[in-house]
A and B are shown apart, each in its own frame.
Chain A
Amino acid sequence: QVQLQESGPGLVKPSETLSLTCAVSAYSISSGYYWGWIRQPPGKGLEWIGSIYHSGSTYYNPSLKSRVTVSVDTSKNQLSLKLTSVTAADTAVYYCGRQRDGGWYDYWGQGTLVTVSS
């Protein structure tokens, strides 16, 4: 059973950089598929942030593209998210997931709440 687990600081100050990692187990990231990040502000809906293909190609939500970097570390079998210049609007639960070639997400992490506040 594929498992994903997000980790990182739960509190980030405004204007700083949000950094999260997602550890993947029971499947090698380098074997295939897209791997992505999706966020959900408290009480709101789901927003796709960006995805990375196992080959390293990246794709970002145009509304966040200037601030986002998604990367993979195949030696650790994990993916990472960096979001710069955060504001309170970036407060959300951040999920990582495996995106099948068709485009749906079949495995998700449990999510991690990141609060942007001074």
Chain B
Amino acid sequence: DIVMTQSPDSLAVSLGERATINCKSSQTVLYGSNNKNYLAWYQQKPGQPPKLLIYWASTRESGVPDRFSGSGSGTDFTLTISSLQAEDVAVYYCQQYYTTPSITFGQGTRLEIK
């Protein structure tokens, strides 16, 4: 199994400030034949299912605000929220799909307002 480890476990950021969440995989999720990183990010609010934000490590899903961005390659990835809004309070998960359809998630990062 590919183990996904997120850091930090929780994060408090002031409104309007930048939030950065990291995700590290135990082995590369960069597929050499197509040069794509098999990594997605989700947002989960209380009582709701996860919502897809980003796939291929940096492609925003339709309708996701452009303050959300993903970066990284190989084993190290970052989700950045450029200017935190109140509605961004949630738990964020990374997910690898290099071994699709078998997938694994990070343990989650809780994002709060400072």
Chain A residues with a Cβ under 8 A of chain B = 34, 36, 45-48, 51, 53, 59, 61-62, 95, 97, 99-100, 102-106, 108-111
Contacts and interface: CB of A to CB of B under 8 A. Distances in A.
B101 A45 contact: no
Given A36-B101, A99-B101, A104-B97, A45 B106 contact: yes
B52 A48 contact: no
Interface of B: 1, 38, 40, 42, 48-52, 55-56, 61, 93, 95, 97-98, 100-108
Chain B interface helix/strand/loop/mixed: loop
A103 B100 contact: yes
A108 B42 CA distance: 12
A45 B103 CA distance: 13
A46 B56 contact: no
Contacts of A62: 1
B111 to A, nearest CB: 15
B78 to A, nearest CB: 17
Chain A interface helix/strand/loop/mixed: strand
* 8 shortest interchain CB distances as A-B pairs: A103-B97, A103-B100, A108-B49, A104-B40, A51-B101, A46-B105, A104-B55, A59-B101
Given A95-B49, A109-B49, A48 B104 contact: yes
A102 B49 contact: no
Nearest to B52: A106
Contacts of A45: 93, 105-108
Contacts of B40: 103-105
A102 B93 contact: no
B106 A103 contact: no
A102 B101 contact: no
A105 B98 CA distance: 14
Given A48-B104, A59-B102, A102 B56 contact: yes
